[in-house]
Amino acid sequence: MNLKELLQKGPFFLDGGMGTLLQERGLKPGEAPEKWGMTHPDVITDIQRNYYEAGTDMVLTNTFGVHPLRYSLSECEEMVRTAIGCADQARKAIADGKERFVALDIGPCGRLLKPLGNLDFEEAVQGFAEVVRLGVKYGADCVFIETMNDGAEARAALLAAKENSDLPVLVSCAYGADGKLMTGGTPESVVAMLESLGADAVGVNCSLGPDALAPIVERYLAAASIPVLMKPNAGLPQEKDGKTVYNVGPEEFSADIVPLIEKGLRIIGGCCGTTPDFIRAVKNASAGRVPPAVEKKEKTIIASRGHAIELGKDPVIIGERINPTGKKRLRKALEEGDMAYVLNEAIVQEEHGAEVLDVNVGTPGVDEPALLEQAVQELQAVTDLPLQLDTSDPEAMRRALRVYNGKALINSVNGKQEVMDAIFPLVKKYGGAVVALTLDEAGIPGTAEGRLAIAEKILKEAAKYGIGPKDILFDTLTMTVSTDGNAAKVTLDALKMIREKTGCGTVLGVSNVSFGLPVREVLGSVFLTLALENGLSGAIMNPLNERMMGAMISFRTLTGRDENCAAYIQYANDLPTMQAVTPAAGATGGAKETEAKGLRRAVVKGLCKEAANLTRTALEEGRDSLDLVKEEIIPALDEVGQGFEAKKIFLPQLMMSAEAAEAAVAEIKKKAANQDAQASKGIVVLATVKGDIHDIGKNIVKLLLENYGFTVADLGKDVPPETVLEAVERLHAPICGLSALMTTTVPAMAETVKLVHEKAPWCKVMVGGAVLTEEYAREIGADGYGKDAMASVRLAERYMQEQA
Amino acid sequence: MKEGLRLAELGEIPFDEKEILRYAMLPSFAPAPEELPMKECLAAAKGAVQCRAVWCRYPLKRDGEELDLGFARTTSRGLKEHLEGCDEIILFACTAGAEMDRRIARAKLQSPAKGLLMHAIGAQQVEGGCDRLCRQLAEQFPDKQLTDRYSPGYGDLPLEMQKDVMTALDCGRTVGITLTDSLLMTPSKSVTAIIGMKERKPE
């Protein structure tokens, strides 16, 4: 029986703790075990032989910390070679003919991946790939990725293992008592992600004892279609006579684990505090027990970092708004690389009840693969909703799937051979559930039977890649009812037929049905209701449309999915806020003069809604927009700015005034055809320098600069010098503002200043940030130092006057 | 877990609006702006914070100009002064957790004022966590006098020491803190510090 088969069969025994045993043999606290092992190979071999003798089938090599971010490549190679040699010697020392295995152990690399940290995903993959290749070179039997507390890192390591070896890969994560990874994954989301990426076994290790880990293991067993492993600590660490001891002994340890074997646990070992005695105890106590066969789960699951959802049981809302088709403002944002706009669309949809977000950034003139990758990466930093990756460009799909930290909904494949040839290999490699459109080379069949035939063809082709029906959802294509009176009926018939005949889930973009007709949402919401009644699993729709949401929520309420009608009542309560706010004209009343005073006062006081309302009223009454800016908004900002400089007004007050001014200007922009009202004072390129991830200060400067009429190109945080220069040159920006908060990132700032001065001598560079002083700024060659946000505005105004 | 490391049970740290405003740079005598989205931000932060802390006790030795902290050596004058009379130290790391960073990122997108406030909430929470840890330590060592906290990067104590702190406390594994290549901690709302301990003098 080979290793994969043994893992499938179980119970299969791993080793236990290493660190404690090494400390008993002379490892000092703070010393790295993998380094110490180089000079004490005999001790490592001895301990591992003890494990094999106690009943371990597979030991993990002493390579937990080996990673190119910690050691040079030649050190990594020596460590892997020595460690595998030790384990191999240990198994050879027992001459009983039984087959034993050696697993290449891989632990976390010590840095956190983007977007929480700043380690690039590909850099992480490359680092793990080096270690995996060494493991293969020196003869490891499998790869064991363990103690991962960030799903993204576990995923990077697994991908590296799959891309650089054919060995089985086991992946184990470390959970807190709350059943979550430190960066937020749940057992269900982690299983969905790792299983779809091709792990051979998944499980949990470290952090807790077997009793506390048991519920987490049970959740793994309920979710996984592959073998599940468990390597708990010997309980919790406690202090006794100045030493760390664990509070669970071998008997209790095995008593907690053995019942789990009957529930399906099949790979068992120990972590901190466990010894060969623990493994012996579990092995003896589990003699004769065989776990039930691994159960293949048939649910359709998609997942984000911390959140798995099932499709097909209850209908879900897939937010459609991140799609530039027919949306001018979004298209402009994408063209300009304004990711904040895209991210805000995500947040707004989530707040209105979206459960999955469709992400489509395809618009002429953009580099879609790069942009989709960036959007997917950044969206994951601000929302935990699963994403539906929506593109017809296979390269864009590949890059987005690579960085998506979960199990994505892939939109889409269809019956065309060429498209299936491009998309199915991606689904197989990266995992995901795929939306399949019922069309092919011959177009969209005009009958439900025709669409079913295509669905069956797609299922057959998917099966060749090992992609089962549970990971395929069909889209029977919503056509416009205004051009074909029968269109909606065919779509709905096909939906029902496919649902019944294939058992697969279904997805529809519902909005299209009403195209070209008045009061679209009436037709759309009824169509949605009909589709839901015919078995729709996912509706791609606008969650901000109250009528459509009303149809979805009513359907849930009427089909026993809304206990005590709670969701419906909540929906009803939220209704007024979902309606467009109509101006409360007359409510504030009074003559022009008082309103004007009111606006200035509203901005000074930081009253956003009032500032917007007063501006709207003033414009409606014929007040000139330029006049409003010059006479009301700017004087108000000046008053606040001077107060700030005199330390009479403080940062939160300044910011609220800035936001109120922004709200007023937004009203002007909405109404004014006269663009002169907002003629830009000039472009400022803003960035937090490379290595620095603090951007609160930079964002405040941005807000104020915009208030004062500057156009700001915000490059974000952790920005390399070359990127700053590129933006300054492209925009021929007269001013560049750089921010750094840490002493360690000031050198990067100095480098950026130097580069901009050298290559773009027309550009004035102003700097700011917690560690900087006037003197320090001069030292690194900056043109100016902004001690706070107001000072930066003053500097920018001075530079523009000098250039005029 | 490595020998000598202790995890603290910090529980939930109450939100303190006054402190939060202080971290948002509003002095105590100034009124908070009427529309400052404090309520919204607190609601968004609720449930996001999970304060974790790990600590370890080391003997403190003086070796000529150098301090031997047990996990690292330094010639920092500032720290030497701070640890005057101490014969032991406690090194700790405390974090408000990764989810708080996500909420901050989200708030920053919604509006700069929310971003500022959420960042201040994160600061109040991690500092509150540190205060609670220090109270627990004071209770645990009633016969010792504990100094204030002193962190790598303060005064002349180099930020480079963060690397030694991460290794000594096994921060990635114990509390989920890691360093970027420029020595910033992730999650960003994290604190590492040294506390000196000396025998409490009889009154």
3-class SS shares of chain B: helix, strand, coil, % to 5? 35, 25, 40
A/B interface, count of CB pairs below 8 Å: 166
- Interacting residues of A196 by C-beta distance below 8 A, sequence separation 6+: A407, A430, A431, A432, A471
Contact check, Cβ <8 Å, B173/A745: no
Q: Using omega within 30 degrees of 0 as the cis cutoff, is the peptide bond preceding A412 cis?
A: yes
Give the range with max mean pLDDT: A195-209, A238-252, A620-634: A195-209
Q: Does A177 touch chain B (CB under 8 A)?
A: no
Distance, in angstroms, between A376 CA and closest chain B CA?
15
pLDDT over threshold 60, residue A584: no
Distance, in angstroms, between B48 CA and closest chain A CA?
10
Q: What residue spans in chain A does CATH classification 3.20.20.330 cover?
A: 3-285
CA distance A182 to A372: 27
Q: Residue A160's CB: how many other CB atoms inside 10 A?
A: 24
pLDDT over threshold 50, residue A741: yes
- Interacting residues of A798 by C-beta distance below 8 A, sequence separation 6+: none
Q: Does A417 touch chain B (CB under 8 A)?
A: no
Provide the percentage of residues in chain A whose pLDDT is more than 70: 96
Give SS3 for B24: coil
Minimum-distance CB partner of A659 among B26, B102, B113: B113
* CB of B185 closer than 8 Å to CB of B179: yes
CA distance A286 to A257: 9
Work out the mean pLDDT of chain A and round it to a whole number: 92
**Which residue of chain A is at minimal alpha-carbon distance from B189?**
A694
Question: Which CATH topology does A300-578 take?
Answer: TIM Barrel (3.20.20)
Which residues of chain A have a CB within 8 Å of the CB of B181?
Answer: 111, 118, 691
Mean pLDDT of the B24-48 span: 92
Structural domain boundaries of chain B?
6-199
**Which residue of chain A is at minimal alpha-carbon distance from B107?**
A382
- The DSSP secondary structure of A217-247, one letter per residue, reads HHHHHHH-SS-EEEE--SS-EEEETTEEEES
What pLDDT is stored for residue A591 in this prediction? 41
Distance, in angstroms, between B20 CA and closest chain A CA?
11
Q: How far is CA B57 from CA A628, A732, B54, B70, in A?
A: 64, 56, 11, 9
Confidence of residue B191 (pLDDT cuts 50, 70, 90): very high
* CB of A666 closer than 8 Å to CB of A678: no
* CB of B172 closer than 8 Å to CB of B54: no
CA distance A116 to A443: 44
CA distance A735 to A757: 11
**Which residue of chain B is at minimal alpha-carbon distance from A649?**
B30
Minimum-distance CB partner of A653 among B33, B108, B186: B33
Which residues of chain A have a CB within 8 Å of the CB of B101?
Answer: 116
Distance, in angstroms, between A494 CA and closest chain B CA?
41
Interface list for A 107-126 with B (CB within 8 A): 108, 110-112, 115-119
Instruction: Measure the CA dihedral B125/B128/B129/B130, to 10°.
Output: 130
pLDDT over threshold 90, residue B176: yes
CA distance A140 to A150: 25
CA distance A654 to A661: 11
CA distance A158 to A193: 11
Q: Which two tokens stand for residue B51?
A: 């304060």
pLDDT over threshold 70, residue A678: no
Task: Give the residue among A35, A107, A152, A62 at the shortest CA–CA distance from B170.
Answer: A107
What pLDDT is stored for residue A150 in this prediction? 94
CA distance A405 to A373: 12
Assigned CATH for A592-676:
1.10.1240.10
Minimum-distance CB partner of A382 among B106, B116, B172: B106
What pLDDT is stored for residue A581 in this prediction? 40
**Which residue of chain B is at minimal alpha-carbon distance from A657?**
B33
DSSP structural state of residue A11 = -
Assigned CATH for B6-199:
3.40.109.40
Q: What residue spans in chain A does CATH classification 3.40.50.280 cover?
A: 680-803
State the best of A696, A698, A719, A792 to mutate against chain B, taking most chain B CBs within 10 Å: A696
A766 residue type, one letter:
M
Pick the CATH number of A680-803 from 3.30.2350.10, 3.60.150.10, 3.40.50.280, 3.20.20.370: 3.40.50.280
Q: How far is CA A505 from CA A398, A502, A532, in A?
A: 23, 9, 12
Minimum-distance CB partner of B109 among A178, A343, A692: A343
Angle at A771 between CA A768 and CA A774, to 5 degrees: 55
A763 sits in the region (left: phi over 0; alpha: psi -120 to 50; else beta) called beta
Count of alpha carbons within 13 angstroms of residue A263, beta-carbon side: 19
Radius of gyration of chain A (CA): 31
Confidence of residue A205 (pLDDT cuts 50, 70, 90): very high
Residues A459-511: pLDDT tens digits?
Answer: 999 999 999 999 999 999 999 999 889 999 999 999 999 999 999 999 999 98
Complex ipTM: 0.86
Give SS3 for A744: helix
Mean pLDDT of the B173-195 span: 93
- Interacting residues of A527 by C-beta distance below 8 A, sequence separation 6+: A478, A488, A510, A513, A514
Sheet holding B61-63, edge to edge: B61-63, B66-68, B73-74
Confidence of residue A645 (pLDDT cuts 50, 70, 90): confident
Minimum-distance CB partner of A19 among B2, B113, B166: B2
CA distance B41 to B39: 5
pLDDT over threshold 50, residue A420: yes
* CB of A730 closer than 8 Å to CB of A738: no
Residues A509-532: pLDDT tens digits?
Answer: 998 899 889 999 999 999 999 999
Instruction: Measure the CA dihedral A31/A33/A39/A40, to 10°.
Output: 120
Residues B94-137: pLDDT tens digits?
Answer: 999 999 999 999 999 888 899 999 999 999 999 999 999 999 99
What pLDDT is stored for residue A577 in this prediction? 54
Distance, in angstroms, between B183 CA and closest chain A CA?
7
Minimum-distance CB partner of A655 among B4, B34, B116: B116
Give SS3 for A784: strand
Mean pLDDT of the A386-406 span: 97
CA distance A709 to A702: 11
Instruction: Measure the CA dihedral A72/A76/A79/A83, to 10°.
Output: 170
Confidence of residue A30 (pLDDT cuts 50, 70, 90): confident
Provide the percentage of residues in chain B whose pLDDT is more than 90: 81
- Interacting residues of A640 by C-beta distance below 8 A, sequence separation 6+: A603, A604, A649, A653, A654, A657, A658
**Which residue of chain A is at minimal alpha-carbon distance from B117?**
A652
DSSP structural state of residue A359 = E
Q: Does A237 touch chain B (CB under 8 A)?
A: yes
- The gap from C-alpha A90 to its chain's centroid, in whole angstroms, comes to 42
Task: Give the residue among A724, A721, A700, A704 at the shortest CA–CA distance from A713.
Answer: A724
Interface list for B 2-61 with A (CB within 8 A): 2-7, 21, 24-27, 30, 32-36, 50, 52
Confidence of residue A595 (pLDDT cuts 50, 70, 90): very low
Q: Which two tokens stand for residue A786?
A: 């902004």
pLDDT over threshold 70, residue A589: no
Q: What residue spans in chain A does CATH classification 3.20.20.20 cover?
A: 300-578
Q: Does B116 touch chain A (CB under 8 A)?
A: yes
Mean pLDDT of the A704-725 span: 91
Provide the percentage of residues in chain A whose pLDDT is more than 90: 75
Give SS3 for A202: strand
Give SS3 for A766: strand
What pLDDT is stored for residue A588 in this prediction? 40
Name residue A541's beta-bridge partners: A319
Q: Residue A74's CB: how many other CB atoms inside 10 A?
A: 8
Sheet holding A784-785, edge to edge: A711-714, A683-688, A735-739, A764-768, A784-785
Burial, A653: exposed, middle or buried (Cβ in 10 Å; 0-12, 13-18, 19+)? buried
CA distance A265 to A286: 11
Predicted model pTM = 0.88
CA distance B150 to A523: 66
Provide the percentage of residues in chain B whose pLDDT is more than 70: 99
What pLDDT is stored for residue A338 in this prediction? 83
Confidence of residue A704 (pLDDT cuts 50, 70, 90): confident
Distance, in angstroms, between B178 CA and closest chain A CA?
5
Contact check, Cβ <8 Å, A174/B112: no
* CB of A667 closer than 8 Å to CB of A616: yes
Packing angle of the helix pair A592-605, A608-620 (nearest 10 deg): 160
Distance, in angstroms, between B110 CA and closest chain A CA?
7
Q: Which two tokens stand for residue A665?
A: 């200007």
Q: Does A596 touch chain B (CB under 8 A)?
A: no
Confidence of residue B203 (pLDDT cuts 50, 70, 90): low
CA distance B91 to B193: 6
Assigned CATH for A3-285:
3.20.20.330
Contact check, Cβ <8 Å, B109/A340: yes
Q: A323 φ, ψ to 5°?
A: -160, 115
Contact check, Cβ <8 Å, A693/B184: yes
Which residues of chain B have a CB within 8 Å of the CB of A343?
Answer: 109
CA distance A34 to A63: 5
pLDDT over threshold 60, residue A682: yes
- The DSSP secondary structure of B67-99, one letter per residue, reads EE-SS-EE--HHHHHHTTT-SEEEEEEEE--HH
- Interacting residues of A447 by C-beta distance below 8 A, sequence separation 6+: A490, A494
pLDDT over threshold 80, residue A583: no
State the best of A699, A705, A749 to mutate against chain B, taking most chain B CBs within 10 Å: A699
Residues A749-786: pLDDT tens digits?
Answer: 999 999 999 999 999 999 998 888 899 999 999 999 99
Only one residue has tokens 């929470």, namely B125
* CB of A177 closer than 8 Å to CB of A212: yes
